[in-house]
Structure 1
Amino acid sequence: MSGTFSKSDVASHNKGDSLWIIVDDDVYDLTKFQDEHPGGKKILTRVAGKDASKPFWKYHNDGILKKYKASLQVGSLDTKPKAEPAPAPEPAPAPAPAPAVATPAKEIQKAVVPATAQEEAEALEPYGDLIPFADPSWYQGFHSPYVNETHAALRKEVREWVESAIEPNVTEWDEKKEVPREIFLEAGRRGYLAGLLGVHYPVEYTKNTVKAVSPDKWDLFHELTITDELSRVGSGGFVWNMIGGFGIGGPPLVKFGKKSLKDRILPGILSGEKRICLAITEPDAGSDVANLTCEAKLSEDGKHYIVNGEKKWITNGIWCDYFTTAVRTGGEGMNGISLLLIERDFGGVSTRRMDCQGVWSSGTTYITFEDVKVPVENLLGKENQGFKVIMTNFNHERIGIIIQCLRFSRVCYEESVKYANKRRTFGKKLIEHPVIRMKLAHMARQIEASYSWLENLIYQCQKMGETEAMLRLGGPIAGLKAQSTLTFEFCAREASQIFGGLSYSRGGQGAKVERLYRDVRAYAIPGGSEEIMLDLSMRQSMRVAKMTGMKL
């Protein structure tokens, strides 16, 4: 049923057996929804047959409307403005002789710059809600040397999927502490998983490729776009569920696994049918990776490693089939560490969920390995040289954390701008109070500065070889990781102050801010705590500078 109604039509449906309401000129039949309404029937009875826009937006965010619109909307008011059809393109006029006036700067550029350079220099069409600083600047018609039409097409593709199938359900999934398996499988079918490994697009292991971008055009800014758009839902738990374990457990297999191992394992991982995670952190070894104690002894026949030990705070572990695991195969310190791909089917692997402050739907796990027999073919890289593999992987892990933190910061900022433009205090909108604008300005300046640094580092990653990137970019990436988590914490706090009590209760208009505030520590600590990152950024950068000719 879908039609056009007058306000008097809606007013006649004002009883429990036929209850309609109006929200933003759209008409909804809530007759069968009354028992499901979290606020109870009485609240709906008060607005039965009326325009409920104001009370609706007082308590809900647009995610609720997106979630129920398809099933509950029956039409719109006859007074709702009709969307005007796009005008037909006019025929191109005949070329006119050039006027004898000064040539505009853009025309001068076209005359002197080669065609390919012109295309790179052109800004892309504005996209999204166009709230200043709520999206990266290239979304809003600013010039960028890093992106082109393929990135814009991918952005549109991912955003449409996220807004229709994911965002309306994220709060529910977070409360249930898991995301439906079908969502992960769909990411595999869409080719997104294969593009999140920090390497070339692995067409040799998957038939599922991204619709918007051909594999030969894939770059690290496409990977940035996927992670950034997924993070718009404002849930660290959701993002970690989708790419947390996969994005850090998969790359060591791709880069250092034997061909036979990759041929057997990678197709299932990239399709989403199988799951993988990274198992490094232990109860007594977090950022101090060199002191881990999970042990792997070679069997007498030399065909297996026998693994015993524990891992803690492992993202996605409860669902995983494969564990990219750091083990001690030699003496103390970093030179005795190896990396093994442990398969759950080997037996002796037990996992249990850990309840944490934030990222509820990420599947944080405590893992116990008891006499697990791992074939020597599952060694990633060389024995006792796993620390190098781990260090290589850290740059990719930290870049992922940075991308998520900065988008979450934007979400806090965007939600605050929207709320400040409708909430009224002391006779005027929040946005009209200078103190609120100051909060927003401080959020925006930190977000934009950090994002510019991120773009530069991703560009360097793209241009440098892996060894050079590990050596030269480890310090800056560690510094930006700390900068981004501090920015996230600042934005979450300021957004919470702007929302007031609405950011203290779960659900409703402040749902994203409340949830992200809980997730802050999950970003400030994993991947290297802020204090260790800041110290590492200086030590690593100074060491490299001395090697390359620094003069003091």
Structure 2
Amino acid sequence: MSTETSDKDILRGGQFLVKETNCDDIFTLEDLNEEQRMMRESTKEFVDRELWAHWERFEKKDYAYTEETMRKAGELGLLSVAVPESYGGMGMGFVSTMLVCDYISGATGSFSTAFGAHTGIGTMPITLYGTEEQKQKYVPKLASGEWFGAYCLTEPGAGSDANSGKTKAVLSEDGKTYSITGQKMWISNAGFCNLFIVFARIEDDKNITGFIVENDPSNGITLGDEEKKLGIHSSSTRQVFFNETKVSVENMLSTRGNGFKIAMNALNVGRIKLAAACLEAQRRVINEAVNYANERIQFKTPIVNFGAIKAKLADMTTNAYVGESACYRAAKNIEDRIAIRESEGNTHQEAELKGVEEYAIECSILKVAVSEDVQHTADEGVQIFGGMGFSADTPMESAWRDARIARIYEGTNEINRMLAVGMLVKKAMKGHVDLLGPATAVGEELMGIPSFDTPDFSELFAEEKDILKRLKKVFLMVAGSAVQKFGPELEKHQQLMLAASDILIEVYMAESALLRTEKNAKRYGEEAQATQIAMSKLYLYNATETIIKKGKEAIVSFAEGDEQRMMLMGLKRFTKYTNYPNVVALRTQIADKVAADNGYTFD
């Protein structure tokens, strides 16, 4: 384990809610080392040359070009970043894998989907769960781009309820092969993949089992036509039909009945990487929107000078900055946790599985927050372009359509919202996160007399940090009371959980931005970080307004009488500013900076 890792106080997953994080202990994009910066630049060059310059081809359903560019990515080593060196990969850390996933995904959702499906759910299950023989046989081909992978989980009757699949695997009489029969749908890369990760049920097992199935049409495998989709037009998406497809018993992935666990852990990694894959898409939309707003003249002035446009650019830019802050904070936490587990004797395989699983709450938070931000950014990009934004002749229209799938991938945002709260409550019950003590303290505080002392807010972010502490109390107040009232039945109250989840999400995202900016203000000076300070303040203000709304919605849904009045008073107390920020001035400052830079320059 590195000194850097051992010297830091690394919080466990979910503990951000009840423990204070020091800004020096988080990782930011500004902390990238030289090797990572070079990798980022080479990835951006590839995207500009092969993807962005040809975005129209992806809109015309040029599946062959998607496959061609995937092979080129393989030749450059971009498909192998997360693969251990012993299997032909680059064996780089989790942050580096996030970095490539981020910057390779900005030009087109079609390529981003193909890349994510192959490197993530197409390759990773073998890397993490395969036998040594399976890894040696398949992973080098996948890492180089010689072969491509696809992931067959979803069925017509099994979407969010992934373990309810009907696909069957029947063992032969001689015990040497399984015969797989069933239908899978929405399979990314199906049109050009060489192998499938297939989930099927053996006999009446409670849980599904994973298999590695080579794509051989003569072995009972047929494909449906390419799906007609709203977006990601050149992502090959087909149904896959298995009719007594023979698979050697040696190609079972992990153990019998372990498929559901494989699927869930693959989704955890997929969620944080999906969030990363939405970041460069935001940056590029912002760049296009700013460039257009600087050049578009109306009423004898560039439209970038209008306050209505400034407000849009400021919010788009702020959300991108906050998403970056949260994604790389969590990625380094995962990387550090992997390093700790390896130092304790875990294999890399075990360490990576447990490292990601530790931060499953943060993965769900990021998936929801950033996927919704990229949709909002694309929508505002269309609006800034006006009629031209609605035209397929500009990339705004395709960006808007491509962004829509992100809220459905890797578990819908509704599922992930409920998962984030549900996993946190379960962690608390296991003693991994102490929610009971802080929640009890908040309850006692509500019964006490509030302090009327005027605090000293002269330090950078002093008031913002004070507000953030109080926003955490809102969640503890709402969730603590809800758990006390409903206990194990809480999961049945989905609208309450959705509201509580929005509070949790806003707390994590706002804190991540504040910590990143505080860290960089300490090393570069506050003047150099003036716009980042403005964005952090603006996001916190918006987060507070969201928490006021969602907190009230949650409280009135389950509390009555004196309890309701007390909690609503607590909500008002916990969300009150001493000095409200001038939101219009903050937005103007941010927009003027991106207009002067003619794009997003904070990464």
Do the aligned partners of residues 472 and 541 (structure 1) sit closer, same or farther apart at CA in structure 2, a change above 3 Å counting? farther
Residue of structure 2 aligned with 1:526, choices 409, 431, 452: 409
Do the aligned partners of residues 420 and 173 (structure 1) sit closer, same or farther apart at CA in structure 2, a change above 3 Å counting? same
Aligned to 1:261: 134
Q: Deviations over 1:371-416 (max 9, x none)?
A: 0111110011100111111111112211221111222122222211
Residue of structure 2 aligned with 1:337, choices 197, 208, 214: 208
Residue of structure 2 aligned with 1:162, choices 22, 47, 50: 47
Q: Does 1:515 align with 2:398?
A: yes
Q: Does 1:411 align with 2:284?
A: yes
Q: Does 1:542 align with 2:425?
A: yes
Do the aligned partners of residues 456 and 295 (structure 1) sit closer, same or farther apart at CA in structure 2, a change above 3 Å counting? same
For the residue of structure 1 that corresponds to 2:80, the secondary structure is helix
Aligned residue type for 2:95: F
The whole-number CA distance in structure 2 between the counterparts of 1:537 and 1:277 is 27
The whole-number CA distance in structure 2 between the counterparts of 1:363 and 1:518 is 16
- Map residues 65-464 of structure 1 onto 2, 5 A cutoff: 144=29, 146-180=31-65, 181-195=67-81, 197=82, 201-206=83-88, 215=90, 218-233=92-107, 235-331=108-204, 335-345=206-216, 347-352=219-224, 353-464=226-337
Say whether the 8 Å CA contact 1:472–1:544 is kept in structure 2: no
The whole-number CA distance in structure 1 between the counterparts of 2:359 and 2:110 is 28
Say whether the 8 Å CA contact 2:103–2:277 is kept in structure 1: no
Say whether the 8 Å CA contact 2:275–2:370 is kept in structure 1: yes
Aligned residue type for 1:204: S
- Map residues 468-479 of structure 1 onto 2, 5 A cutoff: 468-479=354-365
The whole-number CA distance in structure 2 between the counterparts of 1:355 and 1:301 is 43
Say whether the 8 Å CA contact 1:179–1:241 is kept in structure 2: no
For the residue of structure 2 that corresponds to 1:541, the secondary structure is helix
Q: Deviations over 1:391-448 (max 9, x none)?
A: 1111221122111122212222221111110001122111100010001111122222
The whole-number CA distance in structure 2 between the counterparts of 1:540 and 1:395 is 12
Aligned residue type for 2:296: R
Aligned residue type for 2:404: R
Aligned to 2:468: none
Q: Deviations over 1:447-483 (max 9, x none)?
A: 2222211111101111224454344311221121111
Q: How big is the shift at 1:162? A: 2.4
| Percentage of matched positions with identical amino acids | 28
Where has structure 1 moved over 4 Å in runs of 4 or more? 142-145
The whole-number CA distance in structure 1 between the counterparts of 2:64 and 2:317 is 31
The whole-number CA distance in structure 1 between the counterparts of 2:96 and 2:293 is 33
Do the aligned partners of residues 222 and 470 (structure 1) sit closer, same or farther apart at CA in structure 2, a change above 3 Å counting? closer
Q: Using the TM superposition, name which of 218-227 and 310-319 deviates more.
A: 218-227
Q: How big is the shift at 1:330? A: 4.5
Q: Does 1:499 align with 2:385?
A: yes
The whole-number CA distance in structure 1 between the counterparts of 2:269 and 2:412 is 16
Say whether the 8 Å CA contact 1:177–1:363 is kept in structure 2: no
Q: Deviations over 1:339-375 (max 9, x none)?
A: 0011112611111221111111110111100001111
Say whether the 8 Å CA contact 1:279–1:325 is kept in structure 2: yes
Say whether the 8 Å CA contact 1:173–1:179 is kept in structure 2: no
Compute the TM-score of the two structures, normalised by the length of structure 2: 0.63
Aligned residue type for 2:105: S
The whole-number CA distance in structure 2 between the counterparts of 1:221 and 1:475 is 18
The whole-number CA distance in structure 1 between the counterparts of 2:310 and 2:151 is 42
The whole-number CA distance in structure 2 between the counterparts of 1:236 and 1:478 is 20
Unmatched segments (≥5 aa) in structure 2: 5-26, 338-350, 440-603
Say whether the 8 Å CA contact 2:177–2:249 is kept in structure 1: yes
For the residue of structure 2 that corresponds to 1:368, the secondary structure is strand
Do the aligned partners of residues 231 and 143 (structure 1) sit closer, same or farther apart at CA in structure 2, a change above 3 Å counting? closer
For the residue of structure 2 that corresponds to 1:341, the secondary structure is strand
**Which structure has the higher relative contact order (CA within 8 Å, separation 6+)?**
2
Do the aligned partners of residues 277 and 403 (structure 1) sit closer, same or farther apart at CA in structure 2, a change above 3 Å counting? same
Q: How big is the shift at 1:204? A: 2.1
Aligned residue type for 1:500: G
The whole-number CA distance in structure 2 between the counterparts of 1:307 and 1:391 is 21
The whole-number CA distance in structure 1 between the counterparts of 2:359 and 2:204 is 29
The whole-number CA distance in structure 1 between the counterparts of 2:403 and 2:269 is 20
Say whether the 8 Å CA contact 2:106–2:279 is kept in structure 1: no
Q: How big is the shift at 1:145? A: 6.3
Unmatched segments (≥5 aa) in structure 1: 1-115, 118-141, 210-214
The whole-number CA distance in structure 2 between the counterparts of 1:259 and 1:499 is 53
Say whether the 8 Å CA contact 1:472–1:541 is kept in structure 2: no
Q: How big is the shift at 1:493? A: 1.1
Say whether the 8 Å CA contact 2:28–2:329 is kept in structure 1: no
Do the aligned partners of residues 381 and 501 (structure 1) sit closer, same or farther apart at CA in structure 2, a change above 3 Å counting? same
The whole-number CA distance in structure 2 between the counterparts of 1:387 and 1:528 is 14
The whole-number CA distance in structure 1 between the counterparts of 2:130 and 2:76 is 25
The whole-number CA distance in structure 1 between the counterparts of 2:229 and 2:29 is 39
The whole-number CA distance in structure 1 between the counterparts of 2:31 and 2:253 is 33
The whole-number CA distance in structure 1 between the counterparts of 2:223 and 2:413 is 28
Aligned residue type for 2:77: G
For the residue of structure 2 that corresponds to 1:360, the secondary structure is coil
The whole-number CA distance in structure 1 between the counterparts of 2:151 and 2:392 is 31
For the residue of structure 1 that corresponds to 2:246, the secondary structure is strand
Do the aligned partners of residues 486 and 411 (structure 1) sit closer, same or farther apart at CA in structure 2, a change above 3 Å counting? same
Do the aligned partners of residues 155 and 466 (structure 1) sit closer, same or farther apart at CA in structure 2, a change above 3 Å counting? closer
Aligned residue type for 2:389: S
Do the aligned partners of residues 472 and 279 (structure 1) sit closer, same or farther apart at CA in structure 2, a change above 3 Å counting? same
Q: How big is the shift at 1:144? A: 4.9
Aligned residue type for 2:400: Y
Say whether the 8 Å CA contact 1:170–1:238 is kept in structure 2: no
The whole-number CA distance in structure 1 between the counterparts of 2:28 and 2:215 is 48
For the residue of structure 1 that corresponds to 2:55, the secondary structure is helix
Q: Deviations over 1:137-195 (max 9, x none)?
A: xxxxx975641111111112222222223321121233133143442222222111111
Compute the TM-score of the two structures, normalised by the length of structure 1: 0.68
Root mean square deviation, CA, Å: 2.1
Say whether the 8 Å CA contact 2:188–2:235 is kept in structure 1: yes
- Map residues 20-39 of structure 1 onto 2, 5 A cutoff: none
The whole-number CA distance in structure 2 between the counterparts of 1:168 and 1:470 is 35
